[in-house]
């Protein structure tokens, strides 16, 4: 039975053993897990299967961003791995996102949830300005989220700071996957648009992606339990 927990633990480790050791200690009834660029590049698709064999649903976070044909083919390859969720960058545009949606529909069978990253939670207004997007993150996130919904994807990755506005504008069924989760007393690290777990849920997040506050804690399982207790 899939878990009803909103927590997705980001297994950002340089090699497979560290990731599987933590997964072994975690309870798949209490969280899902995320395999990102670091772990996937070092460990390859086999790590996804190992995590699935331990009972976890896996979010494959490779944030595909390329021409439509290349991106859609990568999404199909992710679907072949049987992952629960896969993501692309919304800034890849309409034709890219529609190609991804279409390839999953044509493939049939059990398909992963398809989400699109809006504006990375590590970015703030000044960062956007420097790359020529001279507007507040909130405005650009809303624009990309509307486009994502229009392209028929299942949801977006955004900061929980934007979740309340998006929930109101895009309805209850659209998934809001929110990284940049930090406890009141934890370090922000490289994240800028951060929100506490309880506030993120109150704002309407569907899933909270939590990495270092759990994986770097002295007792990761206790850290996860502590977060769940605040929700
Ligand atoms: O797509 C993601 O998961 C993602 C999008 C985003 O905007 N910000 C973001 O931090 N992430 C991922 O979420 C995780 C956050 O990890 P921590 O900052 O350690 O909690 C990392 O694995 C990031 O790659």
Q: Whose CA is nearest to atom 10 of ligand 1?
A: 179
Domain locations in the chain as residue ranges: 7-230
Is 61 considered catalytic here? yes
Do 142 and 164 form a contact (C-beta atoms < 8 A)?
no
ipTM of the modeled complex: 0.99
- 150 CA → ligand 1 middle, Å: 24
**7-230, which class in CATH?**
alpha beta
Question: Taking the model in full, what pTM does it have?
Answer: 0.98
Q: Where are the alpha helices (DSSP H) in the chain?
A: 16-25, 37-43, 46-53, 68-80, 94-107, 125-130, 137-150, 163-170, 197-202, 212-215, 220-230
Q: Whose CA is nearest to atom 22 of ligand 1?
A: 10
For residue 1, pLDDT over 90 is answered with no
Q: At 231, is the pLDDT very low, low, confident or very high (cuts 50, 70, 90)?
A: very high
What whole-number percentage of the chain has pLDDT above 70? 100
HSE-up of 146 (CA within 13 Å, CB side)?
Answer: 8
Annotated binding-site residue? 211: yes
* pLDDT computed for residue 2 by the predictor: 86
Mean pLDDT of 124-140: 97
Mean pLDDT of 66-93: 98
Is 185 considered catalytic here? no
* pLDDT, tens digit (0-9, with 9 covering 90-100), for 180-207: 999 999 899 999 999 999 999 999 999 9
Q: Which atom of ligand 1 is nearest to the CA of 189?
A: 18
Q: Which atom of ligand 1 is nearest to the CA of 215?
A: 19
Annotated binding-site residue? 89: no
What average pLDDT is seen over the chain? 97
Tokens of 12: 């950002």
């Amino acid at each position: 039975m899939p878990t009803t927990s909103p927590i997705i633990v980001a297994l950002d480790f340089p090699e497979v053993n560290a990731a599987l050791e933590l997964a072994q200690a975690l309870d798949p009834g209490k969280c899902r897990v995320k395999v990102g660029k670091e772990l996937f590049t070092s460990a390859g698709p086999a790590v996804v299967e190992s995590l699935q064999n331990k009972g976890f649903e896996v979010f494959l976070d490779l944030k595909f961003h390329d021409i439509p044909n290349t991106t859609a083919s990568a999404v199909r390859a992710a679907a072949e791995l049987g992952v629960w969720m896969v993501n692309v960058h919304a800034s890849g545009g309409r034709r890219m996102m529609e190609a991804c949606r279409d390839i999953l529909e044509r493939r049939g069978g059990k398909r992963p949830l398809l989400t699109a990253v809006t504006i990375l939670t590590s970015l703030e207004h000044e960062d956007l300005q420097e790359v020529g997007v001279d507007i507040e993150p909130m405005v650009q996130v809303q624009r990309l989220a509307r486009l994502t919904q229009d392209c028929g994807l299942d949801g977006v990755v955004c900061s929980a700071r934007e979740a309340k506005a998006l929930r109101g504008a895009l309805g209850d069924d659209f998934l809001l996957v929110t990284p940049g989760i930090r406890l009141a007393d934890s370090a922000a690290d490289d994240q800028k648009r951060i929100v506490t777990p309880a506030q993120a849920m109150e704002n309407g997040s569907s899933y909270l992606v939590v990495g270092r506050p759990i994986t770097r804690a002295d007792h990761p399982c206790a850290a996860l339990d502590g977060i769940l207790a605040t929700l």
